[in-house]
Amino acid sequence: MGKTGVAIIGCGAVFGIHADAVAKSGLAELIAVADINERTAEKAAARYNCDYYTDYREMLRDPSVQAVHICTPHYLHASMTIDALEAGKHVLTEKPVAISTREAVQMAEAAEACGKHLAVCFQNRFNPTSVKAREIIDSGLLGDIKGIRGIVTWHRDGDYYAESSWRGAKAKAGGGVLINQAIHTLDLMQWFGGEIESIRGHADTRCLRGIIEVDDTAEATIYFKNGARGIFYGTNCFTDNSPVLIDIHCEKGSLAIRDGELYMTRDGKRELLTCDQTATGEKAYWGLSHEKLINHFYECLLRGTADYISIADAAVSVGMIEGIYDSSVNGRDYIFGEQQILKSLTGQADSENIKPDI
């Protein structure tokens, strides 16, 4: 069986991670790239020896392109995904799946109608520490979860927002630290903790007031249906990109992710269970798991299975963010049970309409 033909839309900061992962996978081949900025597209194509376009819709007409990665600003994820699905392509979109759960529903409906695979890039779920933590939770070794703590203290200054102006614009990014940086931690918290009953939080702009329209600091309390409680804090106002902290407190012990290492404490003893491979360089905080996630996506296409991170699953973090904004403005708990939009997505991941046609 030949390699899956891939195209990437958006050749900015995250592009190289996707293009390198496609090249390394051995299951896929980069055919073309598209960027609205011709020089950016041309440079990317020269680096990876592929075709380039400035109009992604034109690229979608190429029959050798079978799957498309969306690496563009958040507000474009939904429309580009739907265009690609309707052109008969499978899609892997960068996080967040969209800037609202309403858009996520439209994307899920398009994937179902077109019978194509649609996956979302939450690569941190592929970190060895995340995989092991989830395995231990599922095994029941530590009993039920009582609480989860997630803390993200990173540094993003005015230069970061000036580099790509969409990042600080509410209509284009959909939010700030919550939707762009801390969404990975919110996603892991719900992945570990289970279904959410309600959320209450606050979002604010502290250090970049007057520079960006979006939040740079936020906190929340998450009430899970199983009775567990989540405590979240995220900010882009720290002076450094410090490692994300996650604690999972269970009936018979606890798990802690610290500096890319997973520790379990049980009967008063603390042991190191596993660690993530360390990334180096400027973008080290993005981790190394894009490669694993992208390779897994192409394995799924070959097998015709849908055990990638589905839109229904990935939209939960977008719902959490909507909930934090809603409660921040209205001063009340945001009830997930009332959010029919998310409920309507449930079950679409394993749709029988998806065709294993690669």
Ligand X SMILES: NC(=O)c1ccc[n+]([C@@H]2O[C@H](COP(=O)([O-])OP(=O)(O)OC[C@H]3O[C@@H](n4cnc5c(N)ncnc54)[C@H](O)[C@@H]3O)[C@@H](O)[C@H]2O)c1
CA 174/CA 189 separation, integer angstroms:
21
The CA distance from 202 to 221, in Å, is: 9
Residues with Cβ within 8 Å of 154's Cβ and at least 6 positions away in sequence, in order, are 177, 181, 235, 236, 238, 241, 242, 285
| Closer residue to ligand X (CB): 34 or 111 | 34
Q: Which stretch binds ligand X (CB under 6 A): 70-78, 144-152, 219-227, 321-329?
A: 70-78
The yes or no reply on residue 65 touching ligand X (CB under 6 A) is: no
Residue 98 binds ligand X, judged by CB under 6 A: no
Please count the residues of this chain forming the interface with ligand X, following the rule CB under 6 A.
24
> Among all residues, whose Cβ is closest to ligand X?
12
Binding of residue 10 to ligand X (CB under 6 A): yes
Q: How far is the CB of 267 from ligand X (least distance, A)?
A: 36
- The whole-angstrom separation of Cα 225 and Cα 145 is 11
Among 7, 9, 31, 264, binds ligand X (CB under 6 A): 9
Between 30 and 358, whose beta carbon lies closer to ligand X?
30
Least distance in Å: CB of 64 to ligand X? 19
Question: Does 56 engage in binding with ligand X (CB under 6 A)?
Answer: yes
Find out whether 172 and 212 touch, Cβ atoms under 8 Å. no
| CA gap 78, 122 in Å, rounded | 16
Neighbours of 174 (CB within 10 A): 26
DSSP 209: B
Tell me how far, at minimum, the Cβ of 204 lies from ligand X, in Å. 21
Residue 333 and residue 296 in contact, taking contact as beta carbons nearer than 8 Å = no
By the rule CB under 6 A, 121 interacts with ligand X: yes
- Nearer to ligand X by C-beta: 40 or 339? 40
Single out the residue of 3, 20, 29, 36 in contact with ligand X (rule: CB under 6 A): 36
Contacts 24+ apart (CB under 8 A), 345-351: 345/104, 345/105, 345/108, 345/311, 345/312, 345/315, 346/312, 347/312, 348/108, 348/111, 348/112, 348/310, 348/311, 348/312, 349/306, 349/310, 349/311, 349/312, 349/313, 350/306, 351/111, 351/112, 351/306
Footprint of ligand X on 218-257 (CB under 6 A): none
Q: What's the min distance (Å) between Cβ of 40 and ligand X?
A: 5
- Asked if residue 34 binds ligand X (CB under 6 A), the reply is yes
Assess 168 for contact with ligand X (CB under 6 A).
no
User: Which segment (72-80, 136-144, 188-196, 261-269) binds ligand X by CB under 6 A?
Assistant: 72-80
Q: Interface residues with ligand X (CB under 6 A)?
A: 9-14, 34-37, 40, 56, 71-74, 76, 94-95, 121, 123, 164, 180, 286
